[in-house]
Chain A
């Protein structure tokens, strides 16, 4: 019988704390649970201080980077000729989500997410994400909108928050997605998270599939040049 165990130590996942990444989320779930017990009233976040308020678009990009685990510089690069983020922002800005989206942006502002720079991989660390997520998960309308946003970035598809709520309660129910645009499909981050490419959209070359892919960080994080 063939049984292969990969004994090479797995490098830390982008944005995860090294000591934590094997059985990590069990412990983090506990932490998140603890955080959730501290009641946070939506709308009562820290008022804007001396700093000029960041625009909703800027906050949306930070929120997206945090929830997806993809580096902000990848999701919303400063030079962004493809610019799906604008399409996505408009989708979520539909008046029918206004209450939940406003609250989600407020929570994100209050969380004061920082985009890691310097020598980091640019992915917002798990503990910061968990702190925000625990608040998001407190209210149904906010949490299902947040999940719709994650799926939008991952799959280029829009799942209605109401449909996600429906199938979460009844897995036999159906939730049909709408592909936001051809461009959105080709920019789906799930494929990069899986170290692959959207089916039918690849810039790789003949024979690449015979070799293991580049490390995950090459796909979803900021990779600094090696050496001097």
Chain B
């Protein structure tokens, strides 16, 4: 196949890129996919070995390049986690830590520290650069609720940053269904009908819902009988006296689907399902690559989108291929009729900003940037995590069993309160205190709880809080051995739980990606520079999440262990009922914004088909096109949009 023979060139092989490649492949199109990182391994054995061996089991831990391994002896290659040397760098959970986030020699993302005299915060969501992209996802496949697409029309008077999407829920219903079939979603239609979410009459999810965990059940019971005066703070139309806990739709098999097994509850969706019961994009990517006209070019970093002399069309993409065995690189170009940029919002914005063209009649002379909006409106779902323990003389919920999350609370995602504060969605974790963000950085639970009892310590404060409540237990510095150790750990761990709150973030122009030319990567290309903070509206959403946590824990009779570490760079103070409360958040990994969709080239970068207003044959896909972020995990919506875009592209070439 000659290099100039492609119908479509796709940059990036994650969710959006893989789905589009496969749709085009099915219709006989010739497609080349440029992937900056490694290709698809023959099986996941190496991923699993690497995960098991990792001392910090962070989302990146199974994938390549390895974040813990030193280069082979005698290799001329640098340590793979050095952001100044990596050819396809990436942020990792370890490098956005309190210790390293502000240090561009450690953190791939270069963070601005202050803006207008105000201290900024770390953007602590991470991503991989590898065939399959976001394979470390949880699998959550929520639809947006209809009002999420009309934030300006409904709530824009009070919160000026909101915009409407150029399309609504009705435009996406068909595509949501197609995405659910492709990814293989398990859920129950009746359970998912709330806040206006609706389905075609005969619609069924591909598989029945994944059953709930014992923690889900404990939380459902706690929220069954509430007093309206207790829930008034939520600002719903009517203060609820019961808040439903619903199953979370997930791309995890509840029975064998498309040749993959049913979930066996390995409690490891993030970072990797050992039996691939959870969908990941390599599944679709492999299907695409089974077509002879589809080609994956790994270790190929797109570095510039080049326009023809008319400036309306892209003619080629300049890329650099690197060797993983040496420092050798080759730079070349690839041509096609249509180009799709399917990187994540940070890398796609970076590529666009690197694509300068002095001939463009724009203020910012970079491709697709008439609006000047590329890189702006970076969003996440700031994730507020709270953790507690059920009474020691009461029921056990036995975490570390089942998928990481089986249920959540979605009914609080929309309501009148959106005039004044951000909405939140609640995740119920099935992994105890494994994901608690104030734990020591040297290890996550169950390590910290175990060490506390083995080594006579109290870093998780279990002993102090039990002593304060008159619950018998070992002295703080007493090391336990034998049956007493085992029983004490069992009794404590089996009552640990955590909840997480996905908070809607306002699209703020000042939260943005630019280029850090002074901090290049291993190919000499500028790394992404991030400027990030939370608006007052978003912070008030976290404050409401905190209040909801207090209500929930009270009704569970749970002891609250939530705390904010002194050195947490995401910590901030908020006034709640006249009291100053220290709050914090972490990244949800839901990177959105940076090339928003809209109705024209002045108010947005792409149209609803994710085609650039400025260039007829250039599509920018993925959650970067989201004008607002809602509270639902973005993957299903970006998959639905990708399938809709693929259909449009297939009709054009």
Contacts and interface: CB of A to CB of B under 8 A. Distances in A.
Nearest to A203: B264
B311 interface: no
B81 interface: no
B398 A195 contact: yes
13 contacts: A5-B394, A13-B486, A15-B482, A16-B484, A28-B484, A68-B485, A69-B487, A155-B450, A157-B55, A182-B48, A197-B400, A199-B57, A200-B51
A35 interface: no
B213 A210 contact: yes
A132 B482 CA distance: 10
Contact of A171 (B395, B431, B459): B459
A133 B482 CA distance: 9
Contacts of B478: 29
A133 B335 CA distance: 72
B490 A195 contact: yes
Given A14-B483, A191-B400, A200-B274, A209 B450 contact: no
Contact-size category for B:
35 or more
Nearest to A136: B481
Interface stretch (A40-48, A49-57, A97-105, A172-180): A172-180
A25 B394 contact: no
Interface string B204-241: 00000001111000000110110000000000000000
A77 interface: no
Interface in A185-201: 185-186, 190-191, 193-197, 199-201
Contact of B53 (A67, A124, A182, A205): A182
B31 to A, nearest CB: 34
A67 B482 contact: yes
A57 to B, nearest CB: 21
Contacts of A84: none
Interface stretch (B436-444, B575-583, B586-594, B615-623): B436-444
Contacts of A68: 482, 485-486
A150 interface: yes
Interface of A: 1-6, 13-16, 21-26, 28-29, 66-70, 123-126, 129-130, 132-133, 136-137, 143, 146-147, 150-151, 154-155, 157, 159, 164, 167-168, 171, 174-179, 181-183, 185-186, 190-191, 193-197, 199-210, 212-213, 216, 220
**Residue among A22, A125, A206 with the most chain B CB within 10 A?**
A206
Contacts of B481: 66-67, 69, 129-130, 132-133, 136, 146, 150
A171 B221 CA distance: 37
Interface in B468-482: 472-475, 477-482
Given A171-B458, A206-B263, 11 more contacts: A4-B221, A4-B394, A66-B482, A69-B485, A124-B482, A137-B479, A195-B494, A202-B267, A206-B254, A209-B403, A210-B212
Contacts of B396: 6, 212
Given A193-B489, A196-B400, A212-B214, A2 B225 contact: yes
Contact of A176 (B55, B265, B454, B479): B55
